[in-house]
Amino acid sequence: MDRVAESRKEPDDQRKLRESMGRIAHKVLVLSGKGGVGKSTVAVNLALSLMHAGKRVGLLDVDIHGPSVPKMLKLEGESIRTESNAMLPVELGDLKVMSIGFLLDRPEDAVIWRGPMKMGVIKQFLVDVAWGDLDYLVIDAPPGTGDEPLSICQLITDADGAVVVTTPQEVALAAVRKSISFCRQLNMPVLGVVENMSGFVCSACGQRSEIFGSGGGERLAREMNVPFLGRIPIEPEVTASGDAGIPYIQKYADTATGRAFAEVIRPMLGADSPRPPEKAGNGEPREKEGTMRIAIPMAEGKLTAHFGHCERFALIDVDPEAKTILKKREVEAPEHQPGLFPRWLAQQGAHLIIAGGMGANAQNLFARSGIKVLTGASPQAPEALVTAYLEGTLLTGENVCDH
């Protein structure tokens, strides 16, 4: 081979990067110019919202010095396995997760690296991790405009763009303006601005308090001529969920905040190309893209008050957008064994369980399998419960079983 041909040959690491990222349809970077605005909370819940919409999703935490994704997903203590010279991401249902936190001996260990080492490990996460075929890769970057977001922008040249997170007050907005300017200088599209911690509604009296002000994110979006994706209210459960390792959207999807996360991902879903119908574990395809399968644990034809006492499951396919039931079938529950139901229902293709009572440990296991759980529903026929859920009128009370 002559020297001219040699110089034109694509370097091996660039080829591997192109091939790995070529299997991922959409790459989305979550940025903020300021720390403490809830950027990782937004990234985690956006990834889960996309997964609940039926998408194959990866979540990459490139915060080298302060990785928080393992804690927020209750994956602390997980370690990375390798197969065929590739690192296998930690799987949480249909979500694939990678973080520097999985490579530390202890969560409190400090990573003291300069720029080139950080870019090297980020490149390794993109090239040497077996992401496979994904619809979305959500990348949680540390605050600011330093090495980590710069590395991502330089390595992923075909990214869809960045979601920029801010809180309403001016001290945060000033830093977030720099993030938008950063994106423009690097030709990274800005998908839009999310205003986090936007108002607090008292659960006792219903009065709304603008703790950090309101509307700053929307004003910034207008000023910088970028889309405004929505407001995420302040809720104590958001903090509690993150600390407990159960993503907020997993448990509180039907709250105002849960619906706000769903609105934020709507433009991203609009950009996604249709996928062929997936098959559930029983080999039966779902009706069409965007459908959802809801599982109802039953005894004597109605929802059972105690999940562990169910005799059968109603599996009901629905179209959430049209608010219609597409199909229902019933299956015998397998013999009750610890940890069996989450795996079995994941194989059945369930996205959501409407339950009367369920212990906290079981809820955590379902969360790890990517299945959302609603507890506190009253004993009714499955169709009635699902119809109420679709109409937004499902009443849930106290969890009657928490052991």
Q: Is the residue at 161 inside a domain? A: yes
- Residue that is written with structure tokens 């710069």 in the block: 150
Contacts of 36 (CB under 8 A, 6+ apart): 143
What whole-number distance in Å separates Cα of residue 193 and Cα of residue 184? 14
Q: Is residue 285 part of a domain?
A: no
* Residue carrying structure tokens 């950009």: 271
- Could you report the per-residue pLDDT of 258-272, keeping only the tens digit for each? 777 877 887 777 655
Residue 130: inside a domain, yes or no? Answer: yes
List the domain range (segments joined by +) for residue 195: 12-270
Separation CA 346–CA 344 (nearest Å)? 5
- Please report where in the chains the tokens 């980020």 appear, as a residue: 122
DSSP annotation of 136 reads E
Domain assignment present for residue 108? The answer is yes
Token pair 């300017």 is found at 181
Which pair of structure tokens corresponds to residue 81?
A: 């396995």
Q: What is the pLDDT of residue 61?
A: 92
How many domains does the chain contain in total?
2
**Do 224 and 319 lie in a common domain?**
no
Gap between the Cα atoms of 23 and 10, Å rounded: 19
Residue 347 backbone dihedrals phi, psi, to 5 degrees: -65, -30
Q: Is residue 359 part of a domain?
A: yes
* In a shared domain, residues 305 and 245: no
Q: Which amino acid is at 149?
A: P
pLDDT digits (tens, 9 = 90+) for 202-217: 666 656 677 776 788 8
Asked whether residue 217 falls in the same domain as residue 312, the answer is no
For residue 224, CA distances in Å to 163, 166, 180, 188 come to 14, 14, 8, 14
For residue 193, the model assigns a pLDDT of 92
Say if residue 92 is in the same domain as residue 222.
yes
pLDDT means over runs of 10, the chain (403 residues): 48 85 92 83 89 90 84 86 90 88 69 69 90 94 82 88 89 88 89 83 65 80 88 76 71 73 76 44 47 90 84 90 88 73 80 86 75 88 92 80 54
Q: Is the dihedral of CA 357, 360, 361, 366 positive or negative?
A: positive
CA 83 to chain centre: 25
- Domain at 204, CATH number: 3.40.50.300
- Which residues are within 8 A (CB) of 72 and not within 5 positions of it... i.e. 6 or more apart? 40, 41, 44, 242, 245, 247
| Domain boundary pick from 270, 302, 325 | 270
Claim to verify: residue 261 and residue 211 sit in the same structural domain: yes
SS3 assignment, position 197? strand
> In the structure, how many helices (H) and strands (E) does the chain have?
14, 17
Asked whether the beta carbons of 297 and 380 are under 8 A apart, the reply is: no
Q: Same structural domain for residues 236 and 90? A: yes
pLDDT confidence of residue 285: 44
Does 386 reside within a domain? yes
Q: What is the CATH number of the domain that holds 371?
A: 3.30.420.130
Q: Are 127 and 215 contained in the same domain?
A: yes
Quick check: is 275 in a domain?
no
| Helix ranges, 156-215 (H) | 170-185
Q: 170 with 299, same domain?
A: no
Q: Alpha helix (H) ranges present in 190-309?
A: 216-224, 236-244, 248-251, 256-270
Q: What is the pLDDT of residue 284?
A: 44
Are residues 21 and 138 both part of a single domain?
A: yes
68 and 106 in a single domain? The answer is yes
> Quick one: 129 and 229 in the same domain?
yes
pTM: 0.62
In angstroms, how far is CA 71 from the centroid of its own chain?
14
CA 168 to each of CA 29, 129, 165, 194, 212: distance values in angstroms, whole numbers, following the listed order? 21, 37, 10, 10, 6
Q: Is there a domain that residue 209 lies in?
A: yes
Q: Are 118 and 64 in contact, with CB atoms under 8 Å apart?
A: yes
Task: Calculate ∠ Cα 56-52-87, nearest 5°.
Answer: 35
In order of 35, 62, 147, 253, 261, the CA distances from 161 in angstroms are: 20, 16, 18, 25, 18
Is residue 254 domain-shared with residue 321, that is, in the same domain?
Answer: no
Nearest of 227, 171, 229 to residue 195 by alpha carbon: 229
Q: What is the pLDDT of residue 74?
A: 87
Cβ burial 321-341 (10 Å sphere, 16+ → b, else e): eeeebeeeeeeebeeeeeeeb
Largest CA distance in the chain: 78
Q: Which amino acid, one-letter code, is at 335?
A: E
